[in-house]
């Protein structure tokens, strides 16, 4: 399920508050070099669960 | 306790509470009051922080443009999605995240609310600051939670920690007022209501440590006529019932 454009505009990295990039099944924070998974359309935006990219 | 150990406690409790919590009738009342206090309308974009099973988020969604609900517990978000589908609402989005580090840009929403979350927090002032940060200038921020008179707070906290080990401290009414007074919010306003609960039904929806259920039962039953706990415990038609006092504080983010 795709995330809406309106939501993507306000979502930010919980670590640095920087913009996130929408990549298939993940949101990527280029500044922190981590990605957050999106499970069944639900972004998991927890610093503890970020995966390095 | 460390932040992450405390988060684990919250997730453990609320994974088990996810279904029974949504079925307690008192949790569906009073949302109207919150909506009125922040004046939600068709242009509003709303964030419901620690949204639990999405009861508040879904009510706001009926009269706002869009609502986002965020919670720490996956089982709660699952319930929230289900509740949304049952209600046939389409203007809701859900996320997993932490109130202490909201994953949103500054000034993202016109209304930011949270209900029944602050008594689980280790750092309530930080949470309120985060809520204000993601709210637009001119937007509204609202917190509703248990609030006891200062002289009852310690006894109430002891009771609640037995019933729900993820409870930290219910702010007292003056603590709540001081939190808002020092927050930078303007035009602060306040309301109060009570959530009436039946002791046995509440215990069924609770997951205390082994042996603590009986302690909770005794503490509440013995408090009838004394009210050291501040919850007006009483017997009605043979059942022990009590009323949890809730404070609602709202303010506007300065333009």
Q: What is the pLDDT of residue B12?
A: 78
- DSSP labels for B30-73? THHHHHHHHT--TT-EEEEET-TTSHHHHHHHHHSSEEEEEES-
What integer is the mean pLDDT of B124-139?
Answer: 98
Say whether pLDDT at B23 is over 90.
no
Q: Where does the pLDDT of residue B29 fall: very low under 50, low under 70, confident under 90, or very high at 90 and above?
A: low
pTM: 0.92
Per the CB < 8 A criterion, the answer to whether B44 and B72 are in contact is no
> B135 to chain A: nearest residue by CA?
A10
Q: What is the pLDDT of residue B27?
A: 63
CA-to-CA distance for B220 and B17, rounded, in angstroms? 21
Say whether pLDDT at B25 is over 60.
no
Q: Where does the pLDDT of residue B14 fall: very low under 50, low under 70, confident under 90, or very high at 90 and above?
A: confident
> A43 to chain B: nearest residue by CA?
B95
Say whether pLDDT at A1 is over 80.
no
Q: Where does the pLDDT of residue B20 fall: very low under 50, low under 70, confident under 90, or very high at 90 and above?
A: low
CA-to-CA distance for B219 and B216, rounded, in angstroms? 5
* Composition of chain B by helix, strand, coil, percent to 5: 40, 25, 30
What integer is the mean pLDDT of B167-193?
Answer: 95
* Composition of chain A by helix, strand, coil, percent to 5: 15, 40, 45
Q: What is the pLDDT of residue B28?
A: 64
Nearest to B50 by CA among B133, B119, B1: B119
Say whether pLDDT at A8 is over 80.
yes
A45 CA to chain B: closest CA distance, Å? Answer: 5
Residues in A touching B43 (Cβ below 8 Å): none
What integer is the mean pLDDT of B203-225?
Answer: 94
Instruction: Return the CATH number of the domain spanning residue range B3-147+167-193+246-252.
Output: 3.40.50.150
Per the CB < 8 A criterion, the answer to whether B107 and B141 are in contact is no
Judge: A48–B4 Cβ closer than 8 Å, yes or no. yes
Domains of chain A: 5-52 (2.20.25.10)
CA-to-CA distance for B226 and A37, rounded, in angstroms? 52
Is residue B88 packed enough to be buried (19+ CB in 10 Å), middle (13-18) or exposed (0-12)? exposed
Q: In this structure, is the dihedral angle defined by the CA atoms of residues B125, B119, B248 and B19, taken in order, positive or negative?
A: positive
């Amino acid at each position: 399920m795709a995330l809406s454009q309106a939501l993507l505009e306000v979502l930010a990295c919980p670590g640095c508050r920087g913009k996130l990039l929408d990549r298939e099944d993940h949101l990527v924070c280029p500044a922190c070099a981590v990605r957050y998974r999106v499970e069944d359309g639900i972004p998991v935006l927890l610093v503890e669960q970020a995966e390095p990219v | 306790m460390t932040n992450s150990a405390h988060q684990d406690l919250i997730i453990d409790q609320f994974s088990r509470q996810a279904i029974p919590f949504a079925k307690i009738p008192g949790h569906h009342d009073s949302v109207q009051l919150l909506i009125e206090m922040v004046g939600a309308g068709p242009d509003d974009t709303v964030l419901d922080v620690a949204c639990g099973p999405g009861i508040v988020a879904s009510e706001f969604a009926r009269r706002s443009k869009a609502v986002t609900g965020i919670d720490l517990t996956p089982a709660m978000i699952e319930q929230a999605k289900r509740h949304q589908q049952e209600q046939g609402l389409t203007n809701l989005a859900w996320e997993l995240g932490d109130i202490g580090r909201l994953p949103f840009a500054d000034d993202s929403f016109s209304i930011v609310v949270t209900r029944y979350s602050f008594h689980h927090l280790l750092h309530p002032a930080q949470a309120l600051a985060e809520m204000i940060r993601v709210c637009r200038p001119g937007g509204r921020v609202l917190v509703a939670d248990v609030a006891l008179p200062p002289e009852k707070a310690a006894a109430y906290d002891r009771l609640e920690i037995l019933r729900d080990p993820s409870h930290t401290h219910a702010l007292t009414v003056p603590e709540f007022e001081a939190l808002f007074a020092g927050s930078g919010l303007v035009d602060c306003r306040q309301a109060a209501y009570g959530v009436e609960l039946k002791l046995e039904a509440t215990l069924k929806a609770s997951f205390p440590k082994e042996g603590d259920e009986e302690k909770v039962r005794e503490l509440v039953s013995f408090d009838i006529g004394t009210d050291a706990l501040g919850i007006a415990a009483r017997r009605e038609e043979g059942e022990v019932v009590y009323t949890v006092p809730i404070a609602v504080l709202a303010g506007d983010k300065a333009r």
